[in-house]
């Protein structure tokens, strides 16, 4: 199978990548830096991570990366991002196109693919009003409710899961965990439920070491400026306790290392998730050996309360569950160990790749 996998990067991570790859002047060099940093590795298929010659990977919205490729292949200077991506697919003689960025490259793009492409698959795990994925052979994610919506719209929705990144195992082995409670994620006025949970947990800061690594929205940064400090928290401004425990966002191996320094990782679904659970943090927290404390909902197989995680039933219970976990260290450690074993075996890269190949065979 000649596989082509494409992804997209958030602006906050692009700045980190550019710093890591500042000495790289080639497509292969910048891409190798990205892959070594493991950003989004739970979604990257085994042939990509292992450098299989039949697999091609790119981040099509990384302008510097794509310009390197265009220059090396003598494309015209004014070639658009879409033209570069199509040229890469054509040169690679792609058979299976797996796209993690279908909001940018939807059905209009799929209809332009060269004839060598036999199968097209998109990953999308969020509500997508107004989007058109109908030209894809399948749209995949691990949220059954969202898949039902895709099927209602006449698209083929198939269940597919992230996988454990084996690079996490070295981080999971760390026993020196100085942070009691860690949260890593985004913060904006759209995350009302999450904000309530975070502020409650932040109130523990006088008794425990609590750290939030927040990727704040542009509006939140704006309303927190000295000139707009009078605006209420509902505008996206963080309450004082949350501000006091906040550090900057972390990504890639820096994220792995941060989780490996924490006893507990708090996970809180965003408001649009409905009752389905199984976001990236579930795999990263357990994969790096921390105890995950998360909100109730429908989790993938293997994620079970008091077996491989701890669950708080209502938002106001998060603080009590975390306190209980910190006061029962041996039990919490045992749950974290079971969780790592579960995710490393049940959600390994071999299984993910076999599931993907089986999906392609069915399409």
For residues 72 and 177, state if they share a domain. no
Q: How confident is the model at residue 285 (pLDDT cuts 50, 70, 90)?
A: very high
For residues 39 and 144, state if they share a domain. yes
For residues 201 and 144, state if they share a domain. no
Could you identify the residue written with the tokens 């602006």?
11
Q: Kindly report, residue by residue over 303-351, the tens digit of the pLDDT.
A: 999 999 999 987 789 999 999 999 999 999 999 999 999 999 999 999 9
Residue 211, strand partner residues: 182
List the structure tokens of 257: 């290392």
For residues 152 and 275, state if they share a domain. no
Q: What are phi and psi of 127, to 5 degrees?
A: -55, 140
What's the pLDDT at 316?
83
What's the pLDDT at 268?
87
For residues 143 and 179, state if they share a domain. no
Q: Kindly report, residue by residue over 151-194, the tens digit of the pLDDT.
A: 999 999 999 999 999 999 999 999 999 999 999 987 765 566 78
Closest among 271, 292, 279, 286 to 182, alpha carbons compared: 292
pLDDT for residue 13 is more than 80: yes
Alpha helix positions (H), 261-297: 280-287
Alpha carbons 233 and 238: distance in angstroms, whole number:
6
| Choice among 132-141, 241-250, 272-281 with the minimum mean pLDDT | 272-281
Q: Are 249 and 220 in contact (CB under 8 A)?
A: no
Q: What is the domain range of residue 300?
A: 168-346
Residue 212, strand partner residues: 183, 246
For residues 172 and 106, state if they share a domain. no
What's the pLDDT at 293?
98
What's the pLDDT at 270?
66
Average pLDDT of every residue of the chain: 93
pLDDT for residue 219 is more than 70: no
For residues 319 and 354, state if they share a domain. no
Q: Kindly report, residue by residue over 28-81, the tens digit of the pLDDT.
A: 999 999 999 999 999 999 999 999 999 999 999 999 999 999 999 999 989 999
pLDDT for residue 23 is more than 80: yes
Could you give the percent of the chain with pLDDT greater than 70?
Answer: 91
At 228, which CATH number?
Answer: 3.40.50.2000
For residues 59 and 195, state if they share a domain. no
For residues 152 and 183, state if they share a domain. no
Alpha carbons 95 and 163: distance in angstroms, whole number:
23
pTM above 0.75, yes or no: yes
For residues 118 and 251, state if they share a domain. no
Q: Kindly report, residue by residue over 80-114, the tens digit of the pLDDT.
A: 999 999 999 999 999 999 999 999 999 999 999 99
For residues 247 and 289, state if they share a domain. yes
Into how many domains does the chain fold?
2
């Amino acid at each position: 199978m000649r596989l082509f996998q494409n992804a997209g990067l958030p602006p906050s991570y692009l700045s980190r990548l550019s710093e890591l790859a500042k000495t790289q002047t080639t497509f292969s060099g910048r891409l190798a830096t990205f892959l070594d940093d493991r950003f989004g590795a739970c979604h990257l298929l085994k042939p990509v991570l292992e450098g299989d010659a039949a697999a091609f990977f790119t981040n099509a919205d990384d302008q510097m990366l794509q310009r390197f490729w265009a220059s090396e292949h003598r494309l015209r200077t004014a070639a658009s991002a879409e033209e570069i991506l199509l040229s890469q697919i054509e040169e690679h003689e792609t058979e299976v196109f797996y796209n993690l960025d279908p909001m940018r490259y939807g059905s209009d793009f799929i209809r332009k693919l060269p004839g060598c492409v036999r199968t097209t698959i998109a990953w999308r795990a969020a509500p997508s009003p107004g989007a058109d994925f109908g030209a894809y052979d399948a749209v995949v994610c691990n949220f059954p409710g969202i898949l039902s919506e895709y099927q209602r719209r006449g698209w083929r929705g198939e269940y597919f899961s992230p996988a454990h990144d084996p690079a996490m195992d070295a981080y999971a082995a760390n026993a020196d965990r100085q942070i009691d409670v860690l949260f890593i994620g985004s913060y904006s006025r759209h995350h009302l439920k999450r904000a309530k949970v975070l502020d409650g947990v932040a109130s523990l800061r006088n008794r425990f070491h609590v750290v939030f690594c927040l990727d704040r929205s542009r509006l939140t940064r704006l309303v927190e400026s000295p000139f707009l400090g009078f605006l209420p928290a509902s505008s996206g401004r963080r309450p004082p306790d949350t501000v006091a425990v906040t550090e900057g966002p972390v990504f890639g191996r820096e994220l792995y290392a941060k989780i490996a320094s924490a006893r507990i990782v708090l996970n809180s679904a965003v408001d649009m998730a409905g009752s389905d659970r199984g976001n990236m943090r579930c795999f990263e927290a357990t994969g790096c050996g921390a105890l995950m404390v998360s909100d109730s909902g429908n989790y993938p197989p293997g994620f079970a309360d008091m077996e491989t995680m701890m669950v708080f039933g209502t938002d106001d219970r998060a603080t009590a569950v975390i306190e209980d976990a910190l006061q029962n260290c041996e039990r919490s450690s045992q749950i974290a160990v079971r969780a790592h074993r579960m995710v490393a075996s049940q959600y390994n890269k071999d299984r993910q790749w076999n599931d993907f190949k089986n999906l392609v065979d069915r399409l």
